A and B are shown apart, each in its own frame.
Chain A
Amino acid sequence: MYGTVRQDIRIHRPAEEVWALAGDPARLHEWFPGIDDCSVDGNRRTITTGSGLPLPEEILTNDSVLRRFQYRLDLPIITHHCGTIDVIDLHDETCLVVYSTEADPRTMALAIGGGTRGALHELKRLLELDPRKDQD
């Protein structure tokens, strides 16, 4: 059974600055609490969780014009997963970041979705604290 969870946050930084961090698949661990490391090889990404578990993913979309990043977790327990990060320019030097999760089984959407909310808050904290974070 499908479940969907959507989180969003407004960040008081220009969309291109936010996208520079949020849209970089190799830097997810910098702003997603519970993910300690990421490595990217082509359209494959492996994240390592705080409990030391490596999770393989497939990158589906990385569109810097639309500022949309999509990926799926590639695990036997998950029949379907799609994570989508959209950075939407509000044209006032701020942007809205929307992090959506759809998954089957639906419970996984809740468990991942809880993590994505924490991630958005950390993204905002990092970028509003240090607007040059994307250049680190």
Chain B
Amino acid sequence: MGRKILFVTTDQQRYDALGCNGGMIARTPVVDGLAAQGIRYERAHPQSVVCMPSRSTMLTGQHPSTHGVWMNGITLPTDAPSVASLLKDAGYRTALVGKAHFQPFLDPFGRFEENRAGQPSVAGAHRGFDHFESATHGAMGPLDYAQWIQANHPEAAGMFYPVLDGNLEVNAMGGGDTGAPQVHHNAIEREWYHTDWVADRTISWLDSLSVDDDWFCWMSFPDPHHPWDPPASEVSRVPWKDVPLPAGYPTDAAERERLLDAKPRHWKAWYDGSLVSNYEAPLDWVPATMTADQVREVNARNAVECELIDEALGRVLAAIAARGWDDDVDVIFTTDHGELQGDFGLLFKGPYHVDGLMRLPLVWRPAPSAAAGSLAPSTVTRPVGLVDLAPTFAQIAGLAPAEWMEGKALPIDDADADARGFERVLTEWDSELFGVDVHVRSITRDGWLCTTYLPGHSHDGSEGELYDLHDDPLQRVNRWDDPAVASVRSDLLADLWDHQPAQVRPLRGLEAPV
């Protein structure tokens, strides 16, 4: 009997959303407890800051340039490499419960099997998962959670915020007390909300296993991704008027604009409403109109969703303990990408490679039985990536990393990181949408974050961003053109291009916007 793996992901969660990372709004005692027993990573980055490419990286252990999911709306082929398949072949029972998003959700012809409730699990292993139950941010459509709501609680199906508007764009409609976009009063019972459903279905699957089974379960919560519509019964946990404004939100409009003007031009163009370069941001929302109170309310709702996830995880861990597995289970908690959540006066996500979107929560609590006497709780400050997850799962299972994996098993402390060459982490962005293309490559190493823009709609290839993460933790001072750090910039760019995987060509075509 080997080590079992509970892989927990959220969607669009910031590093500072957890108490163990210094977060002061949401109470997250369960994840904080795992961090206290295990390893907390302070510089974990995604390889893409949107869902489909990032989730594909988790599954394949490859950068987007390699797995080919270069933007949302590109499918990951069903025969793409999968760490779940590797584990299944080694005898593990495997499941994915919750948000997958390896194929587009907007699927008018019903072409994608992951949009057919129950089909993948009925058909047998899908991407290496024996069991596959799907959910996303609402209760409409064909996914398993939506079908469950429609069958069991149909009155709740229309209670969620409509993620898309009548034009099928990301909805800009405001709600709550402040009119903040994607904030909504959701009268759904807490027990029917997708966070609890994901935990319930995970527990149900675990209960179906033999006590001697080795298993890998990816429990994938759709929250705290917008819409911010947690069950109304829970909203009073975090009164928005008491929520402090985030450090990354400059309260003075002139200050916000000065900061944005020092960055490549698409930043300010989005802020002032002259350019929405990517589908993930509402087309009809102008960030410059956002008020401080709206930032507070978004952060409060987000914190409520983070607390519900933490409590749901606690229930699953209790169920694991009840099966007698607690000492044999590795728990890894992370997310696919961050959320701007008020930084620079912005919300949501896009081609903006700063900590709000790139610095992720990542906690690994190794199985106590495996770690006994040999592993002390630690904090890793060296850069790691989601690309390192798949080889970590392989290592936990006692397997060599597959040759198609591009990362390395996560380090257990900084000494281990230094010994095994965790020097840099890369993040990339490509998008093409109705004549607007943006292409970005970033490297984080030696306490610097360096981003270069390739030629595109708004960039001529000369633009970039360079931040000293130690002296400028909010990335307010762009030193790209600072002669005093010209050699830092050139060294980082050389290192970026030395290590950037070649992009698989031809690029796969866009199937849908998301």
Q: Do A and B come from one complex?
A: yes
- Contacting pair A111 B513 (CB below 8 A): yes
- Contacting pair A106 B434 (CB below 8 A): yes
Q: Mark A30-47, 1 if CB is under 8 A from B, else 0.
A: 001111000000000000
CA distance A52 to B166 in the complex (A): 22
Contacts of B244 in A (CB 8 A): none
Closest to B509 in A: A117
Partner of B512, one of A3, A52, A111: A111
- Contacting pair B73 A51 (CB below 8 A): no
Closest to A47 in B: B109
B196 to chain A, nearest CB (A): 27
Contacts A51-B142, A107-B168; A34 near B110 (Cβ below 8 A):
yes
B237 to chain A, nearest CB (A): 35
- Contacting pair B110 A114 (CB below 8 A): no
Closest to B74 in A: A114
Contacts of A117 in B (CB 8 A): 509, 511
**Residues 87-135 of B contacting A (Cβ, < 8 Å):** 104, 106-111, 115-116
**Residues 378-417 of B contacting A (Cβ, < 8 Å):** none
Contacts of A77 in B (CB 8 A): 166, 168
- Contacting pair A105 B109 (CB below 8 A): no
| Interchain Cβ contacts within 8 Å, total number | 72
Is A56 positioned at the interface, with any CB of B under 8 Å from its CB? no
Q: How many residues of A contact B (CB 8 A)?
A: 25
From A50, A108, A111, name the one whose CB has the most chain B CB atoms within 10 angstroms. Answer: A111
- Contacting pair A114 B73 (CB below 8 A): yes
Q: Mark A57-77, 1 if CB is under 8 A from B, else 0.
A: 000000000000000000001
Partner of B108, one of A1, A7, A111: A111
Contacts of A1 in B (CB 8 A): 167, 283
Contacts of A111 in B (CB 8 A): 106-108, 168, 512-513
Contacts A114-B509, A114-B512; A107 near B167 (Cβ below 8 A):
yes
Is B290 positioned at the interface, with any CB of A under 8 Å from its CB? no
Is A26 positioned at the interface, with any CB of B under 8 Å from its CB? no
Q: Mark B277-295, 1 if CB is under 8 A from A, else 0.
A: 0010001000000000000
Is B510 positioned at the interface, with any CB of A under 8 Å from its CB? yes
B284 to chain A, nearest CB (A): 10
Is A94 positioned at the interface, with any CB of B under 8 Å from its CB? no
Top-7 shortest CB links A-B: A34-B109, A51-B110, A114-B511, A50-B110, A107-B168, A105-B167, A34-B111
A residues engaging B (CB < 8 A)? 1, 3, 7, 32-35, 49-53, 77, 105-108, 110-115, 117-118
